[in-house]
A and B are shown apart, each in its own frame.
Chain A
C-alpha cells in the first residue's frame, strides 16, 4: 500500500516542498502574483479532493477550492510559517466547504439533486452502496480516502495538506477501508 519510495526520501522531498512553499509565499507577499499562482497550482487538486470529501459534489468542490484560495490570498500575511502553506490552505478549504454544506442544507438541497454526480452506471446498486459507505465514514477518514483515490495522489501529496506522517495517513486509510468493507459485507455487497 505504501509507495516504494523510502521514508527518508519522502521526508526529504517533503522538506524540499516545504522549503519551496516558504519561498513562494514570501515572493507572493512581495508583489509576485505568479508565485501565488504556483502555490495554487501545487495544491488545487488536493483542495478540490478535500472539499469534495465534505460536499460530495465535484463542481461545488471546485468552487470551494477557488474560494479557499481567495481566502488564503487575503490572509497570507497572517501565515506565520510559510513552509506550512499546504496544511494551512487545506484547513481554510475545509471551513469553506463546511460553510457551503451548511448553506446547502439550509436550502434543503440533497447531494443527489446536484448536477455533476454521475450515478448512471450499470452497476447502480453497488455504486450507491459504496457511496453510502463513504458518506457514513467520519470526516477525517473520508478525506483520506478522497485524497488517495481522487486522482491517484501519492502519500507525499497527501502529507502536503494533511499535516500528518505517511504512517499516520496509511493507518487512517486502512481504518477507513476496514469500516467500508465491514459496511459493504453487512449490506450483502457483491452477493
Chain B
C-alpha cells in the first residue's frame, strides 16, 4: 500500500515531534477528582431523567411500613409475576451463531438458573424505583420460580408448579401470599414468557447484529431487537399492556445458549399494574444449565405464618371501604 506520495521520510520526524510518554488512566484518582460522577456511577445512572438528587426506595422496610408504598410495591410484584424478559431469536442469515441451532439447544435444556436484576420505575413519579436482585429457577419438569430480593431481604417469590398446576406469589415483607390453581392455558402463557417459550415467540421479531464480544471468558455474539409485537397479544390489554420494548441478547458461540439478556419495557396501565405505568429494565445472565434442581424450589404450599393477600392490604386507609377485600 506504500505509494510515492506517502512521504515516509516524515514518519520518524513526526514520531519524534508528536510522541509522548505513554499515559495511564488512574480510575481511583479520577473518581477522587470527580466525586459527583463517582457517586453517580456507584448508584447507577440508567434513567435519563434521573439526576443526583433522585431518591429511590432502597430498603424493604419502606415497602413494609407505608400503605402508599405497599400499593406501588404490590403492583410491581404482581407485574413481576407476569414478566420474564423475552429474547430476540430468529432464523440465522449469515451470523456466526445459527439461531435455529440456539433455538434447538434451548429446547433441549432441562433446567436453567438465571441471575440478574429487575428495575421498575414508576412513570408518573420517576423517583419511585424498585431494584430487585433476581434469581430464576427454570425446570422443564417442575416449572418456574423467580425470587426478587433487595439486599439480603426476600421481597417476592413467584412459583409456578407445573405438575400440580398451582401458582404461589409470596410477598415476604408483609407475610402475604396469593395462591391459585392454574389452568393448562395459564401454564402455557407462563411458558411463553419464559426464556424457552420466548424462542418461538421471537421468531417474528426483527433484530440487528451487534457483533462478537467476550463475557466472563465466553465468546458471545450479540443481537439487538426492538418491538415486542409477539408478546403484546399474550394477555388482554386490560390485564397486561406491554407498550414498547427493546433489548439485547448475547449468545455463547460454543454453548449456543443465551448467556446475557437485557431489556427495557414500557408497561401501560392495566389491572395487573394496579392502573399505574411502569418502565422495566431487566438484566438476566445465565448462571448454569442442566443442573439438578431441588423439587422443593417449586413448592406452592403456603408457608407457615403467611396469610392470603387481599386488596385491603394495599389500598390507602382513607379509601378502604368496610367489606371490601
Contact = CB atoms under 8 A, between A and B. Distances in A.
Interface of A: 1-2, 12, 15-16, 18-20, 22-23, 26, 28-34, 36-37, 40-41, 44-45, 48, 52, 58, 62, 66, 69-70, 73-74, 76-78, 83, 126-127, 130-131, 134, 145-146, 148-152, 170, 174, 177-178, 180-181
B244 to A, nearest CB: 15
Contacts of A69: 30
B17 interface: yes
Nearest to A14: B211
Contacts of A18: 210-211
Interface stretch (B18-26, B63-71, B169-177, B297-305): B18-26
B102 to A, nearest CB: 17
B104 interface: no
Contacts of A150: 18-20
A164 B244 CA distance: 33
B20 A15 contact: no
B94 interface: no
B188 interface: no
Nearest to A179: B7
B2 to A, nearest CB: 6
B14 interface: yes
6 nearest A-B residue pairs (beta carbon) = A31-B44, A15-B211, A19-B213, A37-B27, A44-B25, A33-B41
Interface residues of B, number: 54
Given A37-B27, A66-B33, A149-B14, A52 B214 contact: no
A22 B13 contact: no
Nearest to B212: A16
Contacts of B214: 16, 20
A29 B6 CA distance: 44
A20 B48 CA distance: 22
A74 B37 contact: yes
B211 A31 contact: no
Contact of B17 (A36, A66, A76, A130): A130
Nearest to A53: B18
A66 B24 CA distance: 11
Contacts of B8: 1
Contacts, number: 140
B62 interface: no
Interface in B1-45: 1-3, 5-8, 10-11, 13-15, 17-20, 22-25, 27, 30-31, 33-34, 37-38, 40-45
Given A41-B25, A174-B5, A180-B14, A78 B48 contact: yes
B183 interface: no
Contacts of B2: 1
A28 B20 contact: no
Nearest to A147: B18
Contact of A73 (B1, B5, B23, B41): B41
A178 B5 contact: yes
10 contacts: A1-B6, A23-B213, A30-B281, A44-B24, A44-B25, A83-B210, A83-B211, A127-B17, A150-B18, A177-B14
A83 B211 CA distance: 10
Contacts of A20: 213-214
Contacts of A23: 213, 215, 222, 250, 260
A146 B33 CA distance: 27
B215 to A, nearest CB: 7
Given A15-B211, A83-B211, A130 B14 contact: yes
B14 A33 contact: no
Given A26-B262, A33-B42, A73-B40, A177 B10 contact: yes
A168 B213 CA distance: 25
Contacts of B119: 30
Given A62-B23, A178-B7, A77 B46 contact: yes
Nearest to B28: A37
B47 interface: yes
B200 interface: no
A29 B20 contact: no
A12 B44 contact: no
A77 B52 CA distance: 13
